[in-house]
Structure 1
Amino acid sequence: MTSESLATAIARVGNPVDLLRNTAARAHTFPVAPEFTNWRSEQRAWAESCALLDQSHHMVDLFLQGPDALRLLSDLGVNTFNNFGVNKAKQFVAVNPDGQLIGDAILFHLEEELFDLVGHPMVLDWVLFHLDRGDYKVTAERDENSAVRTDGPPKFYRYELQGPTAAAVLEQATQQPLPETKFFTMADFTIAGNTVRGLRHGMAGQPGFELFGPWEEGEAVLAALLAAGKDHGLVRAGAKAYSTANLESGWVPAPIPAIFGDDPLLKEYREWLPASAIGAIGGSVDSDDIADYYLTPYDIGYDRTVKFDHDFIGRAALEELAKNPPRTKVTLVWNNDDVTAALGSLLGDGPGAKYFDLPKIRYALHQEDRVLVDGERIGISLDCGYIANERAMVSLATIAKEHAEPGTEVTVVWGEHPRSAKPQVEDHKQWEIRATVAPVPFVQFARTNYRSK
């Protein structure tokens, strides 16, 4: 990593938007096999049988241990920590002093004073910064993802089993009835003679477990799962299919961290944070004000995550915002004819539309495309791609509430800001694509059954 701080990089470039729009950092990729069969069949497996996804390599683990670990997390997280005992997990969400989103990650309570925060680096960096500057009796161990790790394999293997037959696969692998396990609660299993921890979870809104344990036991556990899966239609899913799972369940994976304001805390953080920790902005949003790219927890569906039962950074701002959040999360279903025309523009004389790299068409870490009604911007289209199970191109978006009724017609402006110097941006023209507002999660099972089972 470069020794240049984010503050120094911004001073050199002059504007955080210009820094992020022109950085060479690509969209986040999963350092596992792109496909085991083909990504269409692999997507279909989690809807019709069972998909096995290898999560061992693409996220960062931050292990926090000590008597003040829970206090550190509570000081930063908007979540409640009441009754957050061992073998529980939650989607940890942190905001800046103005209530704007820093990021989110999955927090596992592994032992009485041991926690594992797993996700993109944005929120993990924020936690480490506060640990460094605060008075907390906590030790931290950071296990980078396999794309950047230089000292051996991950600490844990992680396998996601999801789909209608996931329970049957797990019962056959363990030779035991599946225990009743609440959503985001962990249970212990024995597979191939090894103790395996399983989080009741599902990345695509389908039933399943995230299974993990010491790395050296991972091959034996994987072999047992694959053997059990032969009787239940198990399909290994590669990076291409896995990258689209969030489009079905409705999770926005990489909001821009709101760390560029004038608050003294944020200035100190930018001095501490390496510039290389920040990803690229892509898309048609063209404001020079970085605040126009920020999100709040209410913009992307974390309303029920915010609990005002403790003090945390950003609480006062969120208490005010909670009275009337202006935007809400939706799915946008892109118009088939307009998508077909954009794809067809790649043939013949150019320039055509920005290339669609199926199935995930996000080409920067922070995808930010304008959403219009009658030519006026009413929101931002975020993560986007193709769902083979629905035969639809969709995006997750945050838009003004008055336009969020399902069936409302909007327009997504697809294509890069003309001043971009990112190497992944070719000569093209922006393309207006009609879209229809739909619920989020988009898939019916995830909306009605997923969290209740």
Structure 2
Amino acid sequence: MGQELPRQAEVVIVGGGVVGCSLAYHLVKLGIRDVVLLERRQLTCGTTWHAAGLVGQLRATENLTRLAQYTTGLYAGLEAETGQATGFRQNGSLALATGAERLEELRRGAAMARSFGLEVEEVGPAEARDLHPLIEAGDVVGGVWLPKDGQTNPVDTTLALAKGARAGGATILEGVTVTGILTRGGRAAGVRTAGPDGTPGEVAARIVVNCAGMWGRELGRMAGVAVPLQACEHYYVVTEEIPGLPRDLPVLRDPDNCAYVKEDAGKLLVGAFERNARAWAVDGIPADFCFDELPEDWDHFLPVLEGQMRRLPVLETAGIRTFFCGPESFTPDVRYLLGEAPELPGFFLACGFNSIGIQSAGGAGRVLAEWIRDGHAPMDLWDVDIRRLLPFQASRSYIAARAPESLGLLYAMHWPHLQPQTARNLRLSPLHDRMAAAGACFGETAGWERPLWFAAEGEAPVPAYSYGRQNWFDRTAAECRAVRQAVALFDQTPFAKFAVQGRDAEAVLQRICANDVAVPPGRIVYTPWLNERGGIEADLTVARISHDVFWVVTGAAVARRDWTWLTRHVPGDAHCFVTDIGSAWAVLGVTGPAARALLQAVVEDPAQLSPEACPFGHWVDLNIGPVPVRAMRLSYAGELGWELYVPTEFAVALHDLVVAAGADHGLRRAGLHALDCCRLEKGFRHWGHDITDEDTPLEAGLGFAVALDGKPDFIGRDALLRQRHAGVTKRLVQFRLQEPEPLLYHNEPVWRDGRIVGRLTSGAYGHSLGSAIGMGYVEDGGAPVTAGFVAAGGFEIEVAGRRVAAQAGLAPFHDPQGRRMRD
């Protein structure tokens, strides 16, 4: 007789794949034993059962790599712990490069891995052949060997996790379909179900978790939660048994040929992440889908297989036992979805794993379990946080176009600044056509089209990607010169803008903001928002408009995250209301030493822009011609400048007035690449790269933006006081390469006196300085990091395996006193 459906639980997990079972396993390990996992059919029947079972460790960021490392360690001991065989083996993995650019990508990844403590080795063609004797290496120029990578049996591993979860007290029920999400008081409160015979039921719960895999979007809709994922076809073949095939072959990754190969019980499995991938079941997954396969399409898969026949000649004579096509879910940016839904507190997600669910499940299950227990993420998980994406990205037309491209990007070149090609031109500034006519090459952030750089007249604004100097290098250099020597115009419309108003608005913001925003109207305050651990949750400006009205302005990429943080910290009994006003206001940034002269030539009352009338950190309402403008004296480039906020219907008129007058002042349009270069020269931080919820203002050099002794109570104050007393054990440091040619992006290891002490969080070329620059955190084995430690060290930055001497300091290299933007 099967178990009865419990009437209530602490946590209900929906979905019995490897991720759902991992979460149940880790919850009970944390002592949360009142866990119910519901699977609509049978465990693993969706996508887990047909996964290739690769367990790689190197991911795109440090924390995601650490999670993958944890998964490897978990799987290595899971069989001994549970008694359930898993088939886990650590035969290593070998990634091949057939060209110089791919080799540089692999080298940069290997360098990053070393900074994380991951065992990795660059190999030449002969060494690659030694590691994998079956390969034809004539076109191979090099590769990377990760000896601790492995492979596992997905079904057995999932059953082992389920067994461990049951042993800890979790209830796992198969044949129970979730038909609805219960809510109470604006929170998730449980699930509505149907049993195998259709019998309805309900389970009340404090937490509901969407681990439904490719059904995740459908389950999200039940809760009113947007879940941007789409199932796509994923192909592989399995050969007949090959006599004498070594059982210890490493997993082979041949990204230039879109393929991976692993040994599988005396056979070879050849899988593909092809460029021309295809979405599946756009209109909905069949209700009876269970351990199902999709129709064969040899014509689609054959080019990949032919490429692997050249790479592995043994395939030419091996018979094919299985041709498999099955669905897996993919997201808009090839990163999975984790965390609490911004639309519904108490509803969590762990889905959309982009064909890396097996290697991600252990780490994802652990951190989500800790998140549920503690009420906050245990580490910086912004790369996979659901709040990075927006509801429109879950629409059928959008995700069906973007997801196949995401699949193809898994083994494509991971170029710096690579932009997606599908589902574009959806969020356009009112100045978009003006910028396009001026030669803008656009990039996408949160759906916004934003100019990255401007082509010269007669030149196509099309990027030629490279790890070296790209085709926009000289164009960006010219834009940076305009910022530093004349004046530049930026379209900054995608800023997120929130109005906070009401008689309690000041009190609410004083609690949320670490800096003092109890300033007179007309002032702008730069401030972080902190969590209780002192970590930086947001980095933004607050302008006081009137006694009871404030504007919060933040980045486009973090709009949903910051909105959620703000609105969830407004007390229910406060007379305080938050409104998203982003679409109402366009923003033109006018920046450079000639900015005042240019704007005074067009403003009705030039005296309003004098240093006395509008100092740095102030705003003023004025008219430029007939156009009403709110001019905020700020600069992310470190020069004299204003952000001109204008009602969207006036934006084109304002642009044309400024551009017409700009001809006499050296005005040049500029894009985000130039702004990024200039902000790094000035040492300005970027949330999500240089500062995260794991970094405090004291570590990041932002103590000046915190009223630690100026006001008694704000979120995170106690943690900062403790840290100030103890001293910081990491510091954000500025770096400038001593050679002019190498380029920096981020994640390059930082060496001090022969040992790795950190990594870069941001990198760009300092066109005003004549060499690449970056910033990154430096540590000293847990000891306090002081200015003396930084000044006394000999620093190098590792670029694609080569160490380059670097100048290091705590102050920015451009205008360290900040006089230019305050003149």
| TM-score, normalised with respect to structure 2 | 0.41
Deviation at 1:240, TM superposition (A): 2.3
- Asked whether 1:63 is paired with 2:434, we answer no
Aligned to 1:216: 649
Higher RCO (C-alpha 8 Å, min separation 6): 1
**SS of corresponding position for 1:202:** coil
Retained in 1: the 8 A contact 2:787–2:810? no
Retained in 2: the 8 A contact 1:64–1:114? yes
Aligned to 1:139: 577
Aligned to 2:732: 329
Deviation at 1:370, TM superposition (A): 3.8
- Asked whether 1:301 is paired with 2:687, we answer no
Residue by residue over 1:263-322, the C-alpha shift from the partner in whole angstroms, topping out at 9 and shown as x without a partner, is xxxxxxxxxxxxxxxxxxxxxxxxxxxxxxx21101222112221312011111111212
- Could you tell me which of 412, 436, 441 is aligned with 2:812? 441
Query: 5 Å matches for 1:344-383?
Result: 362=745, 368-383=747-762
Work out the CA distance in 2 between the residues paired with 1:18 and 1:88.
32
**SS of corresponding position for 1:164:** coil
Aligned to 1:315: 717
Question: Which amino acid in structure 1 is aligned with residue 698 of structure 2?
Answer: Y
Retained in 1: the 8 A contact 2:382–2:688? no
Deviation at 1:52, TM superposition (A): 1.0
Retained in 2: the 8 A contact 1:407–1:437? no
Deviation at 1:115, TM superposition (A): 1.6
Retained in 2: the 8 A contact 1:117–1:124? no
Deviation at 1:55, TM superposition (A): 0.6
Retained in 1: the 8 A contact 2:759–2:777? yes
Aligned to 2:584: 155
Distance 1:241 1:80, change over 3 A: same
**SS of corresponding position for 1:382:** strand
Question: Which amino acid in structure 2 is aligned with residue 162 of structure 1?
Answer: T
Aligned to 1:245: 678
Work out the CA distance in 1 between the residues paired with 2:634 and 2:541.
11
Distance 1:301 1:123, change over 3 A: farther
Aligned to 1:128: 567
Distance 1:22 1:328, change over 3 A: closer
Question: Which amino acid in structure 2 is aligned with residue 79 of structure 1?
Answer: N
Deviation at 1:447, TM superposition (A): 2.7
Aligned to 2:482: 45
Deviation at 1:405, TM superposition (A): 4.2
Retained in 2: the 8 A contact 1:252–1:382? no
Aligned to 1:32: 450
Aligned to 2:54: none
Residue by residue over 1:161-211, the C-alpha shift from the partner in whole angstroms, topping out at 9 and shown as x without a partner, is 111111110110115243322210112221021221111122211111111
Greater Rg, structure 1 or structure 2?
A: 2
Deviation at 1:76, TM superposition (A): 1.4
Distance 1:194 1:128, change over 3 A: same
Aligned to 2:491: 54
**SS of corresponding position for 1:31:** strand
Aligned to 2:339: 6
**SS of corresponding position for 1:136:** coil
Residue by residue over 1:393-423, the C-alpha shift from the partner in whole angstroms, topping out at 9 and shown as x without a partner, is 0002233325654584323345xxxxxxxxx
Aligned to 1:87: 522
Distance 1:68 1:5, change over 3 A: farther
**SS of corresponding position for 2:733:** strand
Say what the alpha-carbon RMSD is for the aligned residues.
3.0
Work out the CA distance in 1 between the residues paired with 2:683 and 2:539.
14
Query: 5 Å matches for 1:402-413?
Result: 402=787, 405-406=790-791, 408-413=793-798
Work out the CA distance in 1 between the residues paired with 2:704 and 2:381.
34
Work out the CA distance in 1 between the residues paired with 2:339 and 2:499.
25
Aligned to 1:290: none
Work out the CA distance in 1 between the residues paired with 2:752 and 2:366.
29
Distance 1:102 1:21, change over 3 A: closer
- Asked whether 1:194 is paired with 2:564, we answer no
- Asked whether 1:450 is paired with 2:820, we answer yes
Deviation at 1:156, TM superposition (A): 0.7
Work out the CA distance in 1 between the residues paired with 2:383 and 2:591.
36
Identity %: 22
Work out the CA distance in 1 between the residues paired with 2:544 and 2:520.
7
Question: Which amino acid in structure 2 is aligned with residue 32 of structure 1?
Answer: R
Work out the CA distance in 2 between the residues paired with 1:130 and 1:448.
33
Distance 1:21 1:5, change over 3 A: closer
Question: Which amino acid in structure 2 is aligned with residue 85 of structure 1?
Answer: P
Aligned to 1:119: 554
**SS of corresponding position for 1:372:** strand
Work out the CA distance in 1 between the residues paired with 2:795 and 2:572.
46
Work out the CA distance in 1 between the residues paired with 2:381 and 2:721.
32
Distance 1:172 1:21, change over 3 A: closer
Residue by residue over 1:336-369, the C-alpha shift from the partner in whole angstroms, topping out at 9 and shown as x without a partner, is 27x54xxxxxxxxxxxxxxx6xxxx64xxxx555
Work out the CA distance in 2 between the residues paired with 1:231 and 1:433.
42
Distance 1:410 1:81, change over 3 A: same
Deviation at 1:441, TM superposition (A): 2.3
Deviation at 1:14, TM superposition (A): 2.3
Work out the CA distance in 2 between the residues paired with 1:407 and 1:162.
36
**SS of corresponding position for 2:765:** strand
Retained in 2: the 8 A contact 1:87–1:186? yes
Retained in 2: the 8 A contact 1:78–1:95? yes
Work out the CA distance in 2 between the residues paired with 1:22 and 1:109.
33
Distance 1:375 1:101, change over 3 A: farther
**SS of corresponding position for 1:398:** strand
Deviation at 1:124, TM superposition (A): 3.7
Deviation at 1:385, TM superposition (A): 0.3
Retained in 2: the 8 A contact 1:101–1:255? no
Aligned to 1:386: 765
**SS of corresponding position for 1:385:** strand
Unaligned 5+ runs, structure 1:
145-153, 260-293, 341-355, 415-428
Deviation at 1:75, TM superposition (A): 0.8
Work out the CA distance in 2 between the residues paired with 1:20 and 1:157.
27
Work out the CA distance in 1 between the residues paired with 2:731 and 2:684.
13
Aligned to 2:23: none
